[in-house]
Structure 1
C-alpha cells in the first residue's frame, strides 16, 4: 500500500474523528445561542421604543402621576444604557447587570399599566389601549425570547460539557458555559400593590 493510498484512507477517518469531537457541533450550538440572544435584545428594544409613546399618552390624562412617569422614563434610560454582547454571555456579572436593569424597567411599568383604573378617561383613549396591548404583547414576547435563549444555553452548555464534543470545545474553541437569563429583581414573583391617590 502506497503512502498516498494510506493518506487517502486516513483523511476520512480524521474527518470523522474531528466531527465526533464537536468541531461542527460547538460553533453551531454557539451561533444558536447568539441568535436567540439577539431575539431577546430585539424584544427589549421594542419595549424601549414603545415606552415614550405610552408615557406621552398618559401624561395628559394623568398629570398627578408625574412621579410614576418620571420613574418609568428613568428606568427605561438605565435599561437601554446597559448592553450585553454575545461575547459577554459567558460573564455571569454582565448578564446579572443586564437582567437587573431590565427587571427594574418591568417593575416601573406596572403602575403605568394600572393607570387606566385610576383615570377612566384613559380607557376611552384608543392610543392608550393600543399601546397597552402592544406593551403587553411585547412583555409576552420577551418571556418567550428569554425562554428560547435559556433552552439554547442549556443545549450549548450540554454540548461543550459532554463527550466527545467536550474535547473539541476545549481544544479548538476554549468554550466557556453561557449564562442563562434569570430574574434578578428582588421578589420578582410577587406582584406589587399599586395605588393612585386621586384628588
Structure 2
C-alpha cells in the first residue's frame, strides 16, 4: 500500500509540475508576444517617421533665407531629427518621436509669419508631403497605442508582474501626435 501511495504522489507531482511549468511558460510567451506586437506596430510607424525626418533638411534649405530670425527653432528641429534617427531602443525612440513632432509644428506655423516663404512652391509641396506622411502616421499611431496599452496593462497584472520584475520588462511609452495639425492645412 505504501508503494502505491508513493506512485500516486509522484504521478500527481509530475502532473502538477507539468501544469505549473506550462502555465509559467504561457505567461512568459504571452508577454513576449505582446512586446513583439508593440515593436512591429512601431516599426510600421518608424518607416514613416524616417521619411518625415528626411524632409527636414529640405525644409531647412528652403526656409533658411526667409527665416533668419528662427535659426534656433530650425536647429532644434534638426537636433531632434538626428536624435530620433540615432536612437535604437523602442521606448527611447517613441520619446524621441514625440519630441520631434513637438518641434515640427512650430516650424510649419512659421510659414504663416513669412508670406515670402509661403509663396515658394517648394515649401508648399514639402508641407503637403509632410501632412500626408503625418496622416499616415496618425492612422498607425492608434493601433500602436492600443497595442502598447494592452502590453503595459498585461505586464502590471498579477501573476505577470512577477515576470515583469524577474525579466525586467518595462512600460513602453505611448506615441503622441502633432497637436494643432489642423492649422497646417
For Structure 1 versus Structure 2, the TM-score category normalised by the shorter chain is 0.5 to 0.7
Q: Is the 8 A contact 1:82 1:98 kept in 2?
A: no
Q: Which residue of 1 aligns with 2:35?
A: 30
Q: Is the 8 A contact 1:25 1:165 kept in 2?
A: no
How far residue 99 of structure 1 moved from its aligned partner, in angstroms, is 2.5
Greater RCO (Cα-Cα under 8 Å, separation 6 or more): 1
Q: Is the 8 A contact 1:39 1:145 kept in 2?
A: yes
Aligned partners of 1:165, 1:72: CA distance in 2, in Å?
44
Aligned partners of 2:176, 2:118: CA distance in 1, in Å?
36
Q: Which runs of 4+ in 1 moved over 6 A?
A: 2-8
Q: Which residue of 1 aligns with 2:145?
A: 150
Aligned partners of 2:96, 2:75: CA distance in 1, in Å?
16
Q: Residue 85 of structure 1 aligns to a residue in which SS?
A: coil
Higher helix share: 2
RMSD of aligned C-alpha atoms? 4.0
Q: Which residue of 1 aligns with 2:129?
A: 134
TM-score normalised by L of structure 2: 0.67
TM-score normalised by L of structure 1: 0.64
Aligned partners of 1:97, 1:74: CA distance in 2, in Å?
16
Aligned partners of 1:144, 1:80: CA distance in 2, in Å?
21
Q: Is the 8 A contact 2:145 2:175 kept in 1?
A: yes
Gaps of 5+ in 1: 193-199
Aligned partners of 1:141, 1:182: CA distance in 2, in Å?
14
